[in-house]
Structure 1
Amino acid sequence: MDKHNFLILIDRYLANESSPAEIRLLEEYYERMDRKGAEISFQEPDGIGVKAAIMQSIKQEPANERNPKVSYTRLWLGAAASILVIIGIARFIIHTPNPTKNQLNIPEVACSKVITPGGNKARLTLSDGSIVDLDHIADGIVAKQAGLTIKKDRDGQLIYTVVAGNQQPKNGQIHYNSIETPMGGQYQVRLPDGTVVWLNASSSLKYPAQFTGTERKVMLSGEAYFEVSKMKGRPFKVVTDKEVVEVYGTHFNVNAYEDEKVTRTTLLEGSVKVNHGNSSVLLKPGQQCGMENGAFQIKTVKLKGIIDWKNGYFLFKEDKIYEIMRKLSRWYNIDLEYVGKLDDLNFSGKISRTKNLNEVLKVLALTGDVKFKVEGRRVTVMP
């Protein structure tokens, strides 16, 4: 980020000429410096302390972060968990040799309505076919079946508890439940064995109300993060339409959306074995297995970007605009339309999943490479 350009933003702030979006940019940078222990205040009348602190912070950036291909977004929005960080911002500023005040205005996005983010929404289907709408039912016991109770807590978690003395179904029959999140929904389930599952938007999980036999098997469509309870001699298996993931007690993420070309299993802790037909591969922590066209592809990944959704934000790393918009479409429950050539657009950044859609799109539009039009729940993406 060019120092001169950044000081223009500060001067606009001190002159009470900043737009709301420009103020947010400065406040986010202030928060970052505050976490580093910098003593600054935007209330200083002459702005000297602000400029000095920011200049000092810029000088202290590691050399690789000052690389214009990587660093400029961090100087603007780097540690702001609530705002998207976009590599393309630098192209907008660096390629403008002498920017004027008007050139630093935040672009508007044509929106006919405010589209709010998703939340804890899901539908539970019991083994007898009855359906429980979890986002509208009160907290507490929602059902009792097959020697267990099913409870919804205030934090958006569904908890299965086996009643003492009822460890197995009396008739030996396996009773299956399923939980499904809509677009714009997420939910958390604690299964009878103590395994905790986080379901992302537009996902479903089918599982026995009680696990019996020598294995614990669930069926997944969409994306989920698992923290599997250890049970010696009783592996936990996640079945998708392309693979079977086998574990004994570990933390891992499975992305198996139908509209994604690749099914990805990522291991955070422990070990997992991914099976496809007669082939299998054993993963180590930090590894990701991609399944495409019946073949395994193993690579090492940064785990924060894998479970970003579980932790309440989106994290993009040189992702294509199509990948980004698919993630946004699931969380904001929107339909997408593309106009023109967009294949070469890649973005990196971070944004809170609590932000309204128009806030996300405004910052994406800062690059100058992409524009958006929102009509109802349809978003048109244009170069």
Structure 2
Amino acid sequence: MDQDHLNKLAQKFLEGTATDVEKAQLHEWYDRLSASGEIPEDAEALRLRMQQQIARRTAGKVRWYRLTAAAAAVLLLVSTGVYFLRSSKPAQEAVKTHHYKQDVAPGGNRATLTLGDGSVIELDSAQNGALGSQGNTQVIKMAGAQLAYDNGDPGGREVFYYNTVNTPRGGQYQIILPDGSKVWLNAESSLRFPTAFSGDERKVELTGEAYFDIAKDAAKPFVVQVNRMEVEVLGTEFNIMAYANERTVNTSLLRGAVRVRSGGAGSLLRPGQQAQLHKDGKLNVVNHPFIEEEAAWKDGMFIFNNAALENIMRRICRWYNVEVDFTSEKLKGQLFTGQVARQENLSEVLKMLELTDAVHFDIENRTIVVKQ
């Protein structure tokens, strides 16, 4: 992170205007700095100022604990009203977490590409460069786990095929579509799209979760088909979460405007709103005060605001490719707020939750056992 960007994030944090994602980026910067063992005086002064700001904003509402873990500024709040700050400074008071005999590494950039002829390419092992041509379009694997489509002869006769990118559990990938639109595909997801957009719309099909940054084209709307819902846009940024094991299909709008349709119902979303399609077909639109957290995954963070443990564990299971076993049904409803980097090993994420002393875990043969 360059110094100018860091200064802007720090200023926004101290003014109380930083988004959840910006806060997470700032915390992650300090976490990396702390891990290096060399913390400049100005960085430590910034941490103390941040800590003071948090204390002022939460005065009278929470109790403080300084923990011995050697990382900094990872926040965790549980529904009991106890606020936790992992500090780089050792302290007398700490909530004990146990050592995990087994651990699981985080997910990474893994995906497969199915071409129009049915052949499959393992993108994580493929070399950077041209992967092949389909019609007028060249398929290119770029650095940074990106897949791009280059229509080298846009004036020629349009010949296109349908491609599908699939991410497994524990996988993610970025796609640059033929029109320049960018798509971040989360774990256990798929995107089906043509190698060239013809006709009067740009249509793709999604399962799972993806974040879209759509190139503007007023003459050719972009349409995402997901389950029983369509999301239509001209140029905007939004997140769609449509996993089969979730209660609703959620479309979260960060910028621009989108129209969602399902059956005979439809609604126009504004930034900060989320459309929720229920399994019975009911479509609701709600104002989401923490809309940025819905897309935090693409920036490498888990961010939760008053989320049930059952929902948190579903996200963790998809990213770490593990299963979960609750020893008590009542544990599923425990509410947590917090943030932690997705690049951490599974044990570190679970330890963050254990710091609340409200829940504990074991890892047994890629299964998380949740217990009191």
SS in 2 for 1:310: helix
Give the match for residue 218 of structure 1: 204
Match of 2:363 among 374, 378, 381: 374
Quick check: 1:107 aligned with 2:100? no
- Give, in angstroms, the shift of residue 277 of structure 1: 0.8
Which one has a bigger Cα radius of gyration?
1
Q: Encode CA deviations 1:109-155: one digit per residue, 9 max, x unaligned.
A: 5432x211111100000010000000011111112111111111110
The one-letter amino acid paired with 2:365 is G
- Give, in angstroms, the shift of residue 105 of structure 1: 5.0
Q: Among the aligned pairs, what percent are the same residue?
A: 36
Quick check: 1:66 aligned with 2:59? yes
Match of 1:141 among 109, 130, 133: 130
Give the match for residue 339 of structure 1: 327
Give the match for residue 14 of structure 2: none
The one-letter amino acid paired with 2:277 is M
Match of 2:269 among 283, 287, 300: 283
TM-score, normalised to structure 2, is: 0.80
Compared CA separation, residues 186 and 58, structure 1 to 2 (3 A):
closer
Give the match for residue 120 of structure 2: 131
Compared CA separation, residues 250 and 160, structure 1 to 2 (3 A):
same
Match of 2:309 among 307, 315, 321: 321
Give the match for residue 176 of structure 2: 190
Instruction: Give the count of matched residue pairs.
Output: 329
Per mean C-alpha deviation after superposition, the further-off stretch among 176-185 and 335-344 is 335-344
Quick check: 1:164 aligned with 2:153? yes
Mapping of residues 168-317 of structure 1, within 5 Å: 168-170=157-159, 174-292=160-278, 293-301=280-288, 302-317=290-305
Structure 1 stretches of 4+ with a deviation exceeding 6 A read 30-33
Compared CA separation, residues 115 and 166, structure 1 to 2 (3 A):
farther
Q: How many angstroms apart in 2 are the aligned matches of 1:162 and 1:140? A: 15
Compared CA separation, residues 175 and 92, structure 1 to 2 (3 A):
closer
Compared CA separation, residues 339 and 88, structure 1 to 2 (3 A):
same
The structure whose residues are more often strand, as a share, is: 2
Q: Encode CA deviations 1:39-98: one digit per residue, 9 max, x unaligned.
A: x9xxxxxxxxxxxxx5x87665464422435x858x879xx88846233696499xxxxx
Mapping of residues 16-165 of structure 1, within 5 Å: 34=42, 37-38=45-46, 60-61=53-54, 63-69=56-62, 72=64, 83=74, 85-87=76-78, 91=82, 101=92, 104-112=94-102, 114-165=103-154
The one-letter amino acid paired with 1:123 is T
Per mean C-alpha deviation after superposition, the further-off stretch among 298-307 and 269-278 is 298-307
Greater relative contact order (Cα 8 A, min sep 6): structure 1 or 2?
1
Structure 1 residue runs without a partner (length 5+): 1-23, 41-53, 94-99
Q: How many angstroms apart in 1 are the aligned matches of 2:73 and 2:112? A: 29
Q: How many angstroms apart in 2 are the aligned matches of 1:307 and 1:374? A: 28
The one-letter amino acid paired with 1:120 is N
Compared CA separation, residues 76 and 146, structure 1 to 2 (3 A):
farther
SS in 1 for 2:299: coil
Q: Encode CA deviations 1:231-250: one digit per residue, 9 max, x unaligned.
A: 12211100011200001111
Q: How many angstroms apart in 2 are the aligned matches of 1:83 and 1:111? A: 24
Give the match for residue 87 of structure 2: none
Q: How many angstroms apart in 1 are the aligned matches of 2:178 and 2:83? A: 53
SS in 1 for 2:58: helix
SS in 1 for 2:305: strand
Q: How many angstroms apart in 2 are the aligned matches of 1:92 and 1:294? A: 38
TM-score, normalised to structure 1, is: 0.78
